[in-house]
Amino acid sequence: QVQLVESGGGLVQPGGSLRLSCAASGFTLSWYVMSWYRQAPGQERELVAGISYRGRSTNYADSVKGRFTISRDNAKNTVYLQMNSLKPEDTAVYSCNARRADTEYWGQGTQVTVSS
């Protein structure tokens, strides 16, 4: 069974940090471009960060550059999103995406709330 399961979300204060994890099962993660998306209530889902097959290339939304870092450990079939200097506007459900050609998988998402 193909699965992507996110974890690591929670409630943090502004300026704090979280590390999100996305664990894949049922397929080989290294064959897929991995991305993190987020969606806040009433807003469209937006791309936060992406990473190439072996992690040699990454890209980030302008709003998170310098604060977030995407990485992957293909041996563990896991992708991560390190989030530092969190802001209230980072509050959203963060979802993991795996993409290869015509195949795409999504996780269920993990809630990140940044509030004092």
pLDDT in the model for residue 6: 98
pLDDT in the model for residue 42: 94
User: Tokens at residue 20, please?
Assistant: 């999100």
pLDDT in the model for residue 109: 98
List, in sequence order, every residue forming a beta bridge with 7; answer none if it has no partner. 21
Q: What is the pLDDT of residues 52-74, one digit of tens each?
A: 999 999 999 999 999 999 999 99
pLDDT in the model for residue 77: 95
* Rounded-to-integer distance, Cα 46 and Cα 115, Å: 21
Confidence of residue 81 (pLDDT cuts 50, 70, 90): very high
